[in-house]
Amino acid sequence: MYQITDIQIKKNNKNKVEIFVNGEFFIETYFSIINNLDLYIGKILTKQMLEALKRNDELTSAKNDAIRFLSYRPRSVWEIKKKLKDKKYLYHVIQDVINWLTQEGFIDDRDFALRWIKSQVIKKPAGRIKLKNELYGKGIPKEIADSVIESFFEQEDELKLAYQLIRKKDVSLKLKNTKLDPKKIVNLLKSQGFSNPVIQKIFEDFPINEDRSDSYSDRVDF
Protein backbone atom coordinates (compact mmCIF):
# COMPACT_ATOMS: atom_id res chain seq x y z
CA MET A 1 0.00 0.00 0.00
CA TYR A 2 1.19 3.50 -0.85
CA GLN A 3 -0.16 6.47 1.06
CA ILE A 4 0.65 10.15 0.76
CA THR A 5 1.86 11.07 4.23
CA ASP A 6 2.91 14.67 3.58
CA ILE A 7 2.86 17.41 0.95
CA GLN A 8 5.20 20.34 1.52
CA ILE A 9 5.27 23.55 -0.54
CA LYS A 10 8.80 24.58 -1.45
CA LYS A 11 9.83 27.72 0.44
CA ASN A 12 11.87 29.11 -2.44
CA ASN A 13 9.37 28.15 -5.15
CA LYS A 14 5.68 28.10 -4.30
CA ASN A 15 4.88 26.52 -7.67
CA LYS A 16 6.54 23.28 -6.59
CA VAL A 17 5.87 20.81 -3.81
CA GLU A 18 7.54 17.80 -2.23
CA ILE A 19 5.42 14.67 -1.90
CA PHE A 20 6.14 12.06 0.76
CA VAL A 21 4.82 8.51 0.45
CA ASN A 22 4.80 6.12 3.42
CA GLY A 23 6.83 8.64 5.40
CA GLU A 24 9.62 8.96 2.82
CA PHE A 25 10.33 11.59 0.18
CA PHE A 26 8.96 10.43 -3.16
CA ILE A 27 9.08 13.28 -5.67
CA GLU A 28 9.37 17.02 -6.11
CA THR A 29 6.74 18.15 -8.56
CA TYR A 30 4.54 21.03 -9.62
CA PHE A 31 1.70 22.37 -7.52
CA SER A 32 -0.60 22.20 -10.55
CA ILE A 33 -0.20 18.41 -10.65
CA ILE A 34 -1.59 18.17 -7.13
CA ASN A 35 -4.86 19.61 -8.41
CA ASN A 36 -4.83 17.75 -11.71
CA LEU A 37 -4.41 14.34 -10.04
CA ASP A 38 -6.48 15.23 -6.96
CA LEU A 39 -3.65 14.43 -4.56
CA TYR A 40 -3.91 15.07 -0.83
CA ILE A 41 -2.41 13.87 2.43
CA GLY A 42 -3.83 10.48 3.33
CA LYS A 43 -4.74 9.46 -0.21
CA ILE A 44 -4.01 5.85 -1.05
CA LEU A 45 -2.14 5.32 -4.31
CA THR A 46 -1.53 2.27 -6.44
CA LYS A 47 1.78 1.57 -8.13
CA GLN A 48 0.20 2.61 -11.41
CA MET A 49 -0.84 5.93 -9.86
CA LEU A 50 2.72 6.55 -8.68
CA GLU A 51 3.98 5.93 -12.20
CA ALA A 52 1.34 8.29 -13.57
CA LEU A 53 2.52 10.94 -11.11
CA LYS A 54 6.09 10.58 -12.41
CA ARG A 55 4.93 10.80 -16.03
CA ASN A 56 2.85 13.90 -15.33
CA ASP A 57 5.78 15.51 -13.58
CA GLU A 58 8.16 14.85 -16.46
CA LEU A 59 5.65 16.05 -19.06
CA THR A 60 4.91 19.23 -17.11
CA SER A 61 8.61 19.89 -16.68
CA ALA A 62 9.23 19.39 -20.41
CA LYS A 63 6.34 21.73 -21.29
CA ASN A 64 7.73 24.41 -19.00
CA ASP A 65 11.19 24.07 -20.52
CA ALA A 66 9.74 24.35 -24.02
CA ILE A 67 7.69 27.44 -23.16
CA ARG A 68 10.73 29.02 -21.53
CA PHE A 69 12.75 28.29 -24.67
CA LEU A 70 10.05 29.86 -26.83
CA SER A 71 9.85 32.96 -24.65
CA TYR A 72 13.16 34.28 -25.99
CA ARG A 73 12.15 34.10 -29.66
CA PRO A 74 10.07 31.91 -32.00
CA ARG A 75 11.51 28.43 -32.62
CA SER A 76 11.15 25.73 -35.22
CA VAL A 77 9.86 22.29 -34.26
CA TRP A 78 13.34 20.88 -34.82
CA GLU A 79 14.91 23.43 -32.46
CA ILE A 80 12.49 22.56 -29.66
CA LYS A 81 13.00 18.83 -30.15
CA LYS A 82 16.76 19.31 -30.00
CA LYS A 83 16.52 21.42 -26.85
CA LEU A 84 14.39 18.84 -25.06
CA LYS A 85 16.59 16.01 -26.28
CA ASP A 86 19.63 17.83 -24.89
CA LYS A 87 17.82 17.96 -21.55
CA LYS A 88 17.54 14.17 -21.65
CA TYR A 89 13.77 13.92 -22.01
CA LEU A 90 12.47 10.66 -23.42
CA TYR A 91 11.27 10.48 -27.02
CA HIS A 92 7.58 9.97 -26.16
CA VAL A 93 7.66 12.94 -23.77
CA ILE A 94 9.16 15.16 -26.46
CA GLN A 95 6.51 14.07 -28.95
CA ASP A 96 3.75 14.77 -26.43
CA VAL A 97 5.16 18.27 -25.87
CA ILE A 98 5.41 18.95 -29.62
CA ASN A 99 1.80 17.80 -30.11
CA TRP A 100 0.64 20.01 -27.26
CA LEU A 101 2.55 23.06 -28.52
CA THR A 102 1.13 22.55 -32.00
CA GLN A 103 -2.44 22.16 -30.77
CA GLU A 104 -2.11 25.29 -28.61
CA GLY A 105 -0.72 27.26 -31.54
CA PHE A 106 2.66 27.91 -29.93
CA ILE A 107 4.63 26.45 -32.85
CA ASP A 108 4.13 26.43 -36.61
CA ASP A 109 7.07 25.83 -38.94
CA ARG A 110 5.52 27.75 -41.83
CA ASP A 111 4.82 30.79 -39.69
CA PHE A 112 8.29 30.51 -38.10
CA ALA A 113 9.96 30.34 -41.53
CA LEU A 114 8.22 33.49 -42.76
CA ARG A 115 9.03 35.40 -39.56
CA TRP A 116 12.66 34.27 -39.77
CA ILE A 117 13.02 35.40 -43.39
CA LYS A 118 11.57 38.83 -42.67
CA SER A 119 13.76 39.37 -39.62
CA GLN A 120 16.92 38.33 -41.48
CA VAL A 121 16.18 40.56 -44.46
CA ILE A 122 15.60 43.53 -42.18
CA LYS A 123 18.96 42.96 -40.48
CA LYS A 124 20.81 42.52 -43.76
CA PRO A 125 19.33 42.01 -47.24
CA ALA A 126 19.77 38.43 -48.43
CA GLY A 127 18.85 36.27 -51.40
CA ARG A 128 17.01 33.02 -51.88
CA ILE A 129 20.02 30.75 -51.53
CA LYS A 130 21.16 32.00 -48.13
CA LEU A 131 17.64 32.22 -46.72
CA LYS A 132 16.85 28.67 -47.82
CA ASN A 133 20.06 27.34 -46.27
CA GLU A 134 19.30 29.14 -43.01
CA LEU A 135 15.83 27.60 -42.88
CA TYR A 136 17.25 24.17 -43.61
CA GLY A 137 19.70 24.78 -40.76
CA LYS A 138 16.78 25.49 -38.45
CA GLY A 139 15.34 22.09 -39.33
CA ILE A 140 12.50 23.44 -41.45
CA PRO A 141 11.36 20.67 -43.84
CA LYS A 142 12.50 21.35 -47.41
CA GLU A 143 8.99 21.49 -48.84
CA ILE A 144 7.95 24.11 -46.28
CA ALA A 145 11.15 26.16 -46.65
CA ASP A 146 10.97 26.19 -50.44
CA SER A 147 7.28 27.07 -50.44
CA VAL A 148 7.69 29.94 -47.98
CA ILE A 149 10.72 31.30 -49.86
CA GLU A 150 8.80 31.33 -53.13
CA SER A 151 5.82 32.97 -51.47
CA PHE A 152 8.04 35.62 -49.91
CA PHE A 153 9.76 36.51 -53.18
CA GLU A 154 6.44 36.81 -54.96
CA GLN A 155 5.98 39.91 -52.82
CA GLU A 156 9.62 40.99 -52.48
CA ASP A 157 11.93 41.79 -55.42
CA GLU A 158 15.25 39.96 -54.97
CA LEU A 159 17.02 42.46 -57.22
CA LYS A 160 15.78 45.33 -55.08
CA LEU A 161 17.11 43.60 -51.95
CA ALA A 162 20.49 43.19 -53.63
CA TYR A 163 20.57 46.90 -54.46
CA GLN A 164 19.75 47.68 -50.83
CA LEU A 165 22.68 45.56 -49.70
CA ILE A 166 25.09 47.32 -52.07
CA ARG A 167 23.80 50.74 -51.04
CA LYS A 168 24.34 49.96 -47.34
CA LYS A 169 27.86 48.81 -48.08
CA ASP A 170 28.51 51.86 -50.22
CA VAL A 171 27.32 54.22 -47.49
CA SER A 172 29.47 52.57 -44.83
CA LEU A 173 32.55 52.79 -47.07
CA LYS A 174 31.92 56.45 -47.90
CA LEU A 175 32.05 57.23 -44.18
CA LYS A 176 35.59 55.83 -44.29
CA ASN A 177 36.40 57.78 -47.48
CA THR A 178 36.62 54.50 -49.37
CA LYS A 179 34.94 53.64 -52.67
CA LEU A 180 33.05 50.44 -53.30
CA ASP A 181 35.23 48.24 -55.50
CA PRO A 182 33.03 46.80 -58.28
CA LYS A 183 35.22 43.70 -58.32
CA LYS A 184 34.08 42.88 -54.79
CA ILE A 185 30.39 43.21 -55.55
CA VAL A 186 30.14 39.61 -56.72
CA ASN A 187 31.69 38.22 -53.54
CA LEU A 188 29.44 40.36 -51.34
CA LEU A 189 26.29 39.29 -53.15
CA LYS A 190 27.33 35.64 -53.22
CA SER A 191 27.99 35.69 -49.49
CA GLN A 192 24.41 36.88 -48.97
CA GLY A 193 22.98 34.15 -51.18
CA PHE A 194 21.80 36.09 -54.21
CA SER A 195 21.24 34.21 -57.45
CA ASN A 196 23.60 34.47 -60.42
CA PRO A 197 21.14 36.41 -62.63
CA VAL A 198 20.74 39.02 -59.88
CA ILE A 199 24.49 39.25 -59.34
CA GLN A 200 25.12 39.58 -63.08
CA LYS A 201 22.55 42.36 -63.41
CA ILE A 202 24.05 44.39 -60.58
CA PHE A 203 27.61 43.78 -61.72
CA GLU A 204 26.67 45.19 -65.12
CA ASP A 205 25.53 48.34 -63.35
CA PHE A 206 28.99 48.78 -61.89
CA PRO A 207 31.40 48.69 -64.88
CA ILE A 208 34.95 48.37 -63.60
CA ASN A 209 36.37 51.15 -65.73
CA GLU A 210 33.71 53.74 -65.00
CA ASP A 211 32.76 55.84 -62.04
CA ARG A 212 29.95 53.66 -60.65
CA SER A 213 28.19 56.45 -58.73
CA ASP A 214 26.18 57.84 -61.68
CA SER A 215 24.96 54.49 -62.99
CA TYR A 216 24.18 53.32 -59.49
CA SER A 217 22.00 56.27 -58.52
CA ASP A 218 20.24 56.26 -61.90
CA ARG A 219 19.16 52.64 -61.51
CA VAL A 220 18.08 52.54 -57.90
CA ASP A 221 15.09 54.24 -56.41
CA PHE A 222 16.09 55.12 -52.85
Residues 5 and 28 reside in one and the same domain: yes
Residues 77 and 64 reside in one and the same domain: yes
Q: Is residue 36 part of a domain?
A: yes
Residues 35 and 13 reside in one and the same domain: yes
Q: Is residue 79 part of a domain?
A: yes
Q: What's residue 126's pLDDT?
A: 94
Q: What's residue 222's pLDDT?
A: 26
Q: Is residue 51 part of a domain?
A: no
Residues 65 and 94 reside in one and the same domain: yes
Q: Give pLDDT tens digits for 51-94.
A: 999 999 999 999 999 999 999 999 999 999 999 999 999 999 99
Q: What's residue 168's pLDDT?
A: 84
Q: What's residue 178's pLDDT?
A: 73
Run means of pLDDT, 10 residues per run, the chain, 222 residues: 93 91 94 92 94 94 96 95 96 96 96 94 93 95 96 90 87 74 82 90 64 42 30
Residues 89 and 140 reside in one and the same domain: no
Exposure class string for 51-63: b at 16+ Cβ within 10 A, else e: eebeebbbbbbbb
Q: Is residue 19 part of a domain?
A: yes
Residues 100 and 150 reside in one and the same domain: no
Q: What share of the chain is helix, strand, coil (3-state, %, to 5)?
A: 60, 10, 25
CA dihedral 70, 74, 80, 86 (to 10 degrees): -70
Residues 24 and 40 reside in one and the same domain: yes
Residues 72 and 118 reside in one and the same domain: no
Q: Do residues 180 and 163 lie in contact, with contact meaning Cβ atoms separated by under 8 Å?
A: no
Residues 164 and 196 reside in one and the same domain: yes
How many alpha carbons lie under 13 Å from residue 211 in its C-beta half-sphere?
A: 4
Residues 114 and 96 reside in one and the same domain: no
What pTM was estimated for this model as a whole?
A: 0.76
Residues 208 and 163 reside in one and the same domain: yes
Give the number of domains in the chain: 4
Residues 99 and 114 reside in one and the same domain: no
Q: Do residues 31 and 23 lie in contact, with contact meaning Cβ atoms separated by under 8 Å?
A: no
Q: What's residue 214's pLDDT?
A: 44
Q: Is residue 63 part of a domain?
A: yes
CA dihedral 180, 207, 195, 179 (to 10 degrees): 0
Q: Is residue 50 part of a domain?
A: no
Q: Is residue 68 part of a domain?
A: yes
Q: Is residue 174 part of a domain?
A: yes
Which residue type does 93 have? Answer: V
Domain, as residue range, for 88: 56-106
* Domain final position from 118, 134, 155: 155
